[in-house]
C-alpha cells in the first residue's frame, strides 16, 4: 500500500460531531488535506440500516471527488455493497484472513493492533496496514485500553520495517510529530478534527506537523 495515503487518516461517525452535518465536517477535513477517511459509525445514537448506507454512499462520493480512500469500520457487507475502498476491523471484529478472502486482494484492509504479536498476525493474514494504539489517553473510544505510547510503534517497526503503521489514540497537533518520529507512516485522528471549531484549519495544521516530521524536521 502507498504509505502516503495514510499520512493523515481521519476517523469519524455521527456520534463524534454532535449536531453538525457529517458531510460538512468531512468536506472541511478533505479540503484541509486528510489522506484517508474511515466512517466509524458506533456508539450511542449511531445510524444503522438504510440511514447508515445512505451516509456511507455520500461519504464515498465525497472522498472520490477528492481522490481520498474511503474505508468503512467493521461492516464488511456494507463496504462491499457500496464499493468502499476498504475495511478496517478490530481484534474482536473478525478473522483477518477471512475478511481478506471476502473483500478480495485489491481492497484495503486495516487492523487495529495493540502489541507486536497482533501486528505480526495481521500482516501475515493480509492486512495492508495496522492501526497501533491507543498511543495516548483518549475519550473518543469506549474501552480503548491503557495508553501504550509511541514506543510500541518503534517496536513494531523494528520487527516489520515494511509494514504501513498508523498511530491512533489521543493524537493532537502537538503530538503528531512524536508518532511520525517513532516510525509510523501516519496518524489517525478523531477528536482533533471532529471536535475542532474550524475543521479545515485544524486539519491543515495537523497535516503540516505530519509533513514536517516526515521530512525529518523537529517541531
Give the catalytic positions in this structure. Answer: 40, 112, 141
Distance, in Å, from the CA atom of 192 to the CA atom of 160, rounded to the nearest integer, reads 28
Q: Which residues contact 29 (CB under 8 A, 6 or more apart)?
A: 10, 12, 37, 193, 199, 200, 203
**The C-alpha cell of 177 is what?**
510529530
Can you list the alpha helix ranges (DSSP code H) found in 150-198? 151-159, 173-181, 191-194
**The C-alpha cell of 29 is what?**
477535513
Residue 25 and residue 12 in contact, taking contact as beta carbons nearer than 8 Å: yes
Query: Angle CA(21)–CA(193)–CA(214) in degrees, nearest 5?
Result: 145
Query: Angle CA(46)–CA(52)–CA(55) in degrees, nearest 5?
Result: 110
Task: Determine how many CB atoms are found less than 10 A away from the CB of residue 139.
Answer: 10
Can you list the alpha helix ranges (DSSP code H) found in the chain? 22-32, 49-65, 76-81, 96-103, 116-124, 151-159, 173-181, 191-194, 199-214
Amino acid at each position: 500500500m502507498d504509505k502516503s495515503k495514510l499520512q493523515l487518516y481521519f476517523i469519524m461517525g455521527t456520534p463524534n460531531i454532535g449536531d453538525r452535518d457529517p458531510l460538512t465536517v468531512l468536506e472541511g477535513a478533505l479540503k484541509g488535506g486528510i489522506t484517508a477517511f474511515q466512517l466509524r459509525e458506533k456508539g450511542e445514537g449511531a445510524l444503522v440500516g438504510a440511514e447508515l448506507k445512505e451516509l456511507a454512499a455520500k461519504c464515498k462520493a465525497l472522498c472520490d471527488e477528492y481522490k481520498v480512500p474511503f474505508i468503512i469500520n467493521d461492516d464488511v457487507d456494507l463496504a462491499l455493497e457500496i464499493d468502499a475502498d476498504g475495511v478496517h476491523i478490530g481484534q474482536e471484529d473478525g478473522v483477518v484472513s477471512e475478511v481478506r478472502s471476502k473483500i478480495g486482494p485489491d481492497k484495503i484492509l486495516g487492523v487495529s493492533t495493540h502489541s507486536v504479536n497482533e501486528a505480526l498476525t495481521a500482516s501475515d493474514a493480509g492486512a495492508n496496514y495496522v492501526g497501533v494504539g491507543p498511543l495516548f489517553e483518549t475519550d473518543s473510544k469506549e474501552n480503548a485500553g491503557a495508553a501504550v505510547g509511541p514506543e510500541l510503534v518503534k517496536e513494531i517497526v523494528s520487527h516489520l520495517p515494511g509494514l504501513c503503521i498508523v498511530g491512533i489514540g489521543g493524537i493532537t497537533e502537538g503530538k503528531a510529530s512524536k508518532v511520525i518520529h517513532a516510525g509510523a507512516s501516519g496518524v489517525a485522528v478523531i477528536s482533533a478534527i471532529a471536535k475542532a471549531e474550524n475543521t479545515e484549519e485544524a486539519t491543515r495544521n495537523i497535516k503540516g506537523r505530519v509533513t514536517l516530521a516526515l521530512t525529518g524536521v523537529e517541531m
